[in-house]
Amino acid sequence: MEPKSRVCYFMDNDVGGYYYGQKHPMKPHRISMVHNLTLAYGMYKKMDVYRPRHASAKELSQFHAEDYVEFLRRVTPDIAQNHAKQLQKFSVKGDCPLFDGLYEFCQKYAASSIDGARKLMAGSADIAINWAGGLHHAKKSEASGFCYINDIVLAILELLKFFPRVLYIDIDVHHGDGVEEAFYVTDRVMTVSFHKFGDMFFPGTGDIWDKGAGSGEYYAVNFPLKDGITDESYRQNFQPVIRKVMEIFQPSAVVLQCGADSLAGDRLGCFNLTTKGHGECVRFVKSFGIPTLVLGGGGYKIRSVARCWTHETSVLLDSEISDRIPYNDFWDYFAPDFNLHIKEMSIENKNGKEYLDKLKVKVMENLRSITAAPSVQMQELPPTYYPSDDEDDLDPDVRLHQSTVDKQRETNGFYGNYR
């Protein structure tokens, strides 16, 4: 029997306090619900839990433009009227509103993804989980699709300091355009996205013909789907494509974005996946035994999101949990059945077998154009901009302030009455 994976988990119970606005579909409150269910099921006992720190402006600028980061750092709703041109320039408007604590929110979810990558690099974890991350639409100098800072790109850049090749997999209903764009011309990162395409669906990118350019040609893999895809149809295409990608690309690390807006009944999505079907994608990626950073993403029916990511936490822990949701702080949200898993809806699957088979054939053809996994001459690991919490990495002549140490690893008191 194979040993269970070592899992670390980034948890901030205050994340639910950030608020995009009353009518906005993005609700950070869903992350608090996931954390609460994780505690209620007792899964925290099986993994190392860390409280997120705040990423520095210098860290965020490893991908994003410095003027964009500086603008996010200093702008607030109270002074917004003085920055109308910059709000327009950086697209902090409409679907990406300016709200109280925006920069701090970005700092936390980005730091968790960066630090999750660092755990994998240090070998102190096999799997790192940050459900607050996965904001895949943000661009270098622009907010997009509810996303301001692209924590995924920042985490992949961190992983590339140590791992020769990184595979990015995206199962959000929306195309992972920001990540694909960032690595479109490199062969060290392969991006694979399964998403809705057509009918003016946001963001309008991710056709099967979008396959990368220059050194990155064929390293962007897109599987554009139609409305109503079911668990079985998804599995029959996801698994062979990912298996072939693993064979051809031979990644040394994986980043998996688990957007839950691909679930049945999502407010903005149009797929028909159940929590079990969505979780099978996570289980399949995990089966390859490659260091993996697991992130959240979209998901706008918060009860379903909480159910999905709680189930997937159990999958990553190889831990069976009951379908009956235990009592928790958000108990009433899960009425009337209080079950963990959701079922398919009675909607048409517009993805016919012929259509899916043609897509799969084309994707496989593109992958065969890659002759071999790219080799990389690795050099000494560049410095990072934050302290490691692994004692072996620390300078014995430099003592960290105790407050820094305390912020990293959660203490028993954090879990309240869940023990």
Exposure b/e, 343-353, CB count within 10 A at least 16 = b:
ebeeeebebee
pLDDT higher than 80, residue 238: yes
Q: Which residue has the higher pLDDT, 401 or 215?
A: 215
pLDDT of residue 16: 86
Q: pTM of the entire structure? A: 0.91
Mean pLDDT of 58-67: 98
64 an active-site residue? no
pLDDT higher than 70, residue 402: no
Which of 71-75, 137-141, 276-280, 400-404 comes out lowest in average pLDDT?
A: 400-404
pLDDT higher than 90, residue 227: yes
Q: Where are the beta strands (DSSP E) in 234-370?
A: 253-257, 292-295
The two structure tokens encoding residue 361: 């054939």
Q: Is the peptide bond before 25 cis (omega within 30 degrees of 0)?
A: no
pLDDT of residue 387: 47
Three-state SS at 17: helix
pLDDT higher than 70, residue 414: no
Reported as a pLDDT band with limits 50, 70 and 90, residue 375 is: low
DSSP bridge partners of 224: 195
pLDDT of residue 163: 98
Secondary structure (DSSP) of 179-194: HHHHTTT-SSEEEEEE
pLDDT higher than 60, residue 409: no
Average pLDDT taken over every residue of the chain: 91
Q: What are phi and psi of 393, to 5 degrees?
A: -85, -10
Mean pLDDT of 14-30: 94
Task: Please report, as a single letter, which amino acid is at residue 169.
Answer: I
Catalytic residue among 35, 64, 136, 137: 137
pLDDT digits (tens, 9 = 90+) for 341-354: 999 999 999 999 99
pLDDT digits (tens, 9 = 90+) for 164-204: 999 999 999 999 999 999 999 999 999 999 999 999 999 99
What is the β-pairing status of strands 166-170 and 292-295? unpaired
CA distance 410 to 412: 7
Is 9 in contact with 116 (CB distance < 8 Å)? no
Reported as a pLDDT band with limits 50, 70 and 90, residue 377 is: low
